[in-house]
Amino acid sequence: KNEVEQSPQNLTAQEGEFITINCSYSVGISALHWLQQHPGGGIVSLFMLSSGKKKHGRLIATINIQEKHSSLHITASHPRDSAVYICAVRYSGGGADGLTFGKGTHLIIQP
Amino acid sequence: DTAVSQTPKYLVTQMGNDKSIKCEQNLGHDTMYWYKQDSKKFLKIMFSYNNKELIINETVPNRFSPKSPDKAHLNLHINSLELGDSAVYFCASSQQHAGNTIYFGEGSWLTVV
């Protein structure tokens, strides 16, 4: 069964802390996405990875293809980072040719 | 200047009705998708469609049907609505290659009463 597992499910931290959210998947993928969903509901794509590491501002995403694992890091976290972070993969083998999603990590950054 | 737009944003309707949600993208993408987010906030693919083929998630009831009048539009039609259809439906688009960013619409909140 193709599954995407995220941890932790919920995370509360203080402003300024370094945040790490993990994602693991079970079979070969062609791409992995990190998405952000704000309380209002809209979904924004943060990163698309197929290998290595990407950085955008305070956000860093890494992927290890051999270990089937990805991490999303937030440096100097801020209350506006509070959101649900969702890992999603596109499997190499087909299916509905869309993304398969993790259940999300609900992040709260307290001032 | 929204990249992927869906309408309506909110829809409340009675069981048994037929309804549609419209989606348009102005990014020139060749592939569009419909996703469903249930009450537990879990997202699942429903359909993906490009100008070559429609791929359907086998778990989607045939009461749901996508209709694409052109490359920029993928509308979702739902017949004989049921209570369990209440969810948020997200439209998205991308270029077909797996390595491209996917862009989401803002979601359509459907409530069936």
**DSSP assignment of A19-57:** EEEEEEESS-EEEEEEEEE-TT--EEEEEEESSEEEEET
The per-residue pLDDT of chain B, averaged, comes to 90
Q: What is the pLDDT of residues A6-53, one digit of tens each?
A: 999 999 999 999 999 999 998 888 889 999 998 877 899 999 998 999
B104 contacts A42? CB cut-off 8 A = yes
More confident residue, B79 or B95: B79
Please, which residues bridge with residue B88 across strands? Answer: B37, B109
CA-based R_g, chain B, Å: 13
Q: What is the pLDDT of residues B55-83, one digit of tens each?
A: 777 788 999 999 988 889 999 999 999 99
Nearest to A42 among B42, B55, B107 (CB): B107
Dihedral (CA of A21, A22, A25, A28) sign = positive
Residues of B at the A interface, defined by Cβ within 8 angstroms: 33, 35, 40-48, 55-57, 88, 90, 92, 98-104, 106-107, 109
Structural contact between residues B85 and B79, judged by C-beta atoms closer than 8 angstroms: no
* Kind of pairing between the strands at A4-7 and A105-110: unpaired
A99 contacts B45? CB cut-off 8 A = yes
Q: Is the pLDDT of residue A72 over 90?
A: yes
Nearest to B43 among A42, A45, A101 (CB): A101
Q: Is the pLDDT of residue A95 over 90?
A: no
Nearest to A99 among B99, B102, B109 (CB): B102
The per-residue pLDDT of chain A, averaged, comes to 91
